[in-house]
Homo-oligomer: A and B are copies of this chain.
Amino acid sequence: MRHARFLPVALVAGGLVATLPSDLLAASPPTHAHAAYAAVDPFIGTGGEGHTYPGATVPFGMVQLSPDTQIKPRKEAYGWAAGYRYDDTTIVGFSHTHFSGTGHSDLGDVLLMPISGDVRLERGDVSKPLSGYTSRFSHEGERAEPGYYAVTLDDYAVRAELTASARVGVHRYTFPAGKPAHVLLDLRTSLYDYPGKISWSRIRVQPDGTVTGFRETRGWAPGRQLYFAMRFSRPLAGHALHNTEQDIPYKGFAPPAAEDPTRRAQIEGRQLVATFDFGAAEAAPLVAKVALSPVSERNAIANLDAEVPDWDFDRVRGAAREQWTQALAVLEVDAPDDARRALYTALYHSLLGPTLFMDVDRRYRGPDQDVHVADGFTHYSTFSLWDTYRALHPLLTIVQPPERTSDFVNSLLAHRRQSPYGILPVWSFHGLETWCMIGYHAVPVIADAYVKGIRGFDAGAALDAMVASADYAPYDGIGAYRELGWVPIDEEGEAASKTLEYAYGDWTIARMAAAMGRDDIAKRFTRHAANWRHAFDAKTGFMRARNRDGSFREPFDPSASGYGTDYTEGNAWQYSWYVPQDVAGLAKAHGGVDRLLARLDAVFDAKVDASVFAHMEDITGLIGWYAHGNEPSHHVAYLYAHAGQPWRTQERLAMIMRTQYAPRPDGLAGNDDLGQMSAWYVFTALGFYPVAPASNEYVLGRPFVPRATLHLPNGKRFTVVADGLDDAHTYVGRVTLDGKPLARTFIRHEEIMAGGELRFTMQATPDRRALRGRDALPYSQSTARR
């Protein structure tokens, strides 16, 4: 799937003219690819609560090298989950690992800071310039594009540029000439910081000047080990290794030169910081390259040597740019600049995770903290599954080669094999389980892949893993759920949400089992898929949590949210529509489609005081009760079309696209959640959305760009056209697929992958004719029907 190489332009960054080496000057990329790359704005989402980072990475890369503007203690860490906030005016340093868009955090590993002149070992107070090593910066001195970030550190007059390969972050620091140049390495800092987070760490200066080390943290994932290896383009003139921990209970016997930080070859402890000195700065910039490894320092060195054997920052930058250009080339968009910026950036954000998690020798550290070899597949981690099973993983089945998805599935299956619990991951990163959020949403990811015909993994083992995970009694009330049909709220919190999501997960198991001819499993899980009915309270029309004795928990407040309520990051107004596997059944339970859709109108049209969610960090992006900033709402606007009344979806989507996205730093209404928010945007801009992954169907919305072509990984092209689209023509009239009228509210995955043209004729007024019948409505209009 290798695109032709392209002719790069000279890149002017902060006055430094960077050129690309001749081996990249081979051939031209598709014209649109170049423009796609240029359209991406990595700053989108770095303001507000988008929690994206602007730094350098390659698609699905293991290293995310990005500036951290402040290091916040745990209680204030939410807004700094990606290390960077656009409103900040300081930079603490450049660390090598970041989540894109999470609502919780960790990482921020191996922080480097170039320092000119005097070295201070502490970060200092951001309100007091020069009180520590933190420097001021401004957005004028800043630049970001996929795989490249540059900033001027005003307090040091240092130009810092960052780029990355898969496992290596490369820094180019231009120091003011004549002044002493230093690089500080801080192993004490961490995103989501708290005292005691670092359980152990180590820095070694090897005889050849290579700096290696490790740290083990007790964070979101406990017992996380990460190793690194770092080399500088100039010999060390000196170094100092410090342990700043106060009152170390027992230091042990002294290693060589223990009393002299400048002569130590190694240091271990829990609060380590090092400085590396390069004498008076020369005109040539200093290049620092830092490789990560989950396995060992030795492996980090191997990663470094394999990926960046030279000192050519521009080569690495050019290679990153080429990878991004290739990845973004999947989408060719004809649209106004703002829409292009928003859409390509959304696509960019959809290609940041899951992230590569194995060394060049294919070894990685698994959920048992042991080292394993990824035999025959590429191992990934960072699975924010509660978010990403909805739209991100389905999108990746379209915009990435199928091998990417089968690698994901193999990674999930490896996790299951290596898990001490014997189940698929819930929310994992760096190989480790965090138990964050609810459900067993690795299950729909695998089922979606399988029913789409993606192979390259052991389907029998996958189905076993899915069933084992769905039946794992000790986890979040599953034991009682299998016994009763619902999660009892008197035994398990957030029981309504869990019952609903388990039922959907069960349906996806049934789908895959049926496709495999495993009728016993299909039958059992089809039965379980109807468990959503146990949560439905016909009296109030809401999904609610039952007690073990079958009664609903009282008192009931449909606006109530929070830990300990019936719901997970939401309330009854948000969670009551989560039956993607049986929308027809849901409508029937409500007394018919119109009754259900009237309830959805009540959701969108409610007058809601946002302060009702002041205690909930993740419920943002409100339109009435609809909360676009969090995932439980993401399919809701599509339910109108799904139920046969597409014009109402078109209206709601216009409202959401207008109010919840903007191509500026604070342009995301909530956490990007490893690309789920962005994947929603990509799908919605193209006019369709996977309401029920594993159904193989996408519900039609309306396009938000005049024309877009998917250059599919299978070589075919699928084009979406919105004829007559402008601000006055926002409703869909006629829809054709390859010229033939498409009298349905959905399109099939295989229709997209076959290539062709989906053409919407836009009009000024809604087409209020409802569509009905088994051929017009998606599969999940009746789970019993097909």
- Given the contacts A200-B200, A368-B297, A368-B298, A220 and B472 also touching, CB distance less than 8 Å: no
Question: How far is B222's CA from A269's CA once the two chains are assembled, in angstroms?
Answer: 8
CB-defined contacts of A761 to chain B, threshold 8 Å: none
Q: How far is the CB of A516 from chain B (nearest CB, A)?
A: 25
- In the complex formed, the residue of B with least CB distance to A253 is B435
Q: Which residue of B lies closest to A476 (CB)?
A: B256
**Chain A 412-427, CB within 8 Å of chain B: the 1/0 string?**
0000000011100001
Chain B residue with minimal CB distance to A204?
B420
A421 to B204, CA, bound (A): 9
Does residue A194 face the partner (Cβ distance < 8 Å to B)?
A: yes
- Asked whether A268 lies within 8 Å of B435 as measured between CB atoms, the reply is no
List 16 A-B pairs, Cβ < 8 Å: A199-B199, A199-B216, A202-B223, A204-B368, A206-B420, A214-B369, A218-B252, A219-B252, A220-B252, A221-B252, A222-B268, A252-B434, A256-B476, A257-B475, A266-B421, A297-B368
A309 within 8 A of B: no
| B residues in contact with A199, CB < 8 Å | 199-200, 216, 270
For the complex, what is the distance from the CA of A268 to the CA of B253, rounded to whole Å?
28
A197 close to B (CB within 8 Å): yes
A255 within 8 A of B: yes
**Residues in chain B near residue A249, CB distance under 8 A:** 194-197
Task: Check B268–A223 contact: CB distance below 8 A.
Answer: yes
Extra contacts, 9 of them, besides A196-B250, A297-B368 (Cβ < 8 A), are: A74-B250, A197-B249, A200-B216, A222-B252, A222-B268, A253-B436, A263-B474, A265-B420, A297-B370
A207 contacts chain B at the CB level, 8 A cutoff: yes
The reply to whether the CB of A433 lies closer than 8 angstroms to some CB of chain B is yes
**B residues less than 8 Å from A250 (CB atoms):** 74, 194, 196-197, 218-219
Top 9 A-B residue pairs of the complex, sorted by shortest distance between their CB atoms: A256-B474, A256-B475, A253-B435, A257-B474, A199-B199, A296-B370, A204-B420, A196-B249, A253-B436
Q: Are B297 and A422 in contact, with the CB atoms below 8 A?
A: no
Interface string of A603-642 (1 = CB under 8 A from B): 0000000000000000000000000000000000000000
A436 proximity list for chain B (CB < 8 A) = 253
A81 to chain B, nearest CB (A): 15
Taking the complex as formed, is A284 at the interface, i.e. its CB lies under 8 A from any CB of chain B?
A: no
A17 at the interface (CB under 8 A from B): no
Q: Does A9 contact B (CB under 8 A)?
A: no
Docked complex Cα distance between A490 and B645 (Å): 90
Q: Is the CB of B370 within 8 A of A298?
A: yes
A254 at the interface (CB under 8 A from B): yes
Q: Does A597 contact B (CB under 8 A)?
A: no
Judge if A373 is at the interface, Cβ distance under 8 Å.
no
**Contact between B472 and A256 (Cβ–Cβ < 8 Å)?**
yes
A642 to chain B, nearest CB (A): 33
A371 within 8 A of B: yes
Interface residues of A in 144-203 (CB under 8 A from B): 194-197, 199-200, 202
Q: Mark A243-273, 1 if CB is under 8 A from B, else 0.
A: 0000001101111110000011110111000
Q: How far is the CB of A268 from chain B (nearest CB, A)?
A: 5
**Which residues in window 333-370 of A have CB below 8 A to B?**
368-370
- Closest residue of B by beta carbon distance from A227: B370
Q: Contact: A369 with B474, CB < 8 Å?
A: no
Question: Which residues from chain B contact A74 at a C-beta distance below 8 Å?
Answer: 250
Complex Cα gap A216–B74 (Å): 25
The contact string, 1 if C-beta is below 8 Å from chain B, for chain A 636-671, is 000000000000000000000000000000000000
- Assess whether A265 is in contact with B218, with CB atoms less than 8 Å apart: no
**Would you give the shortest CB distance from A320 to chain B, in whole angstroms?**
30
Q: Are A435 and B255 in contact (CB under 8 A)?
A: yes
The contact of A207 among B218, B266, B422, by CB within 8 Å, is B422
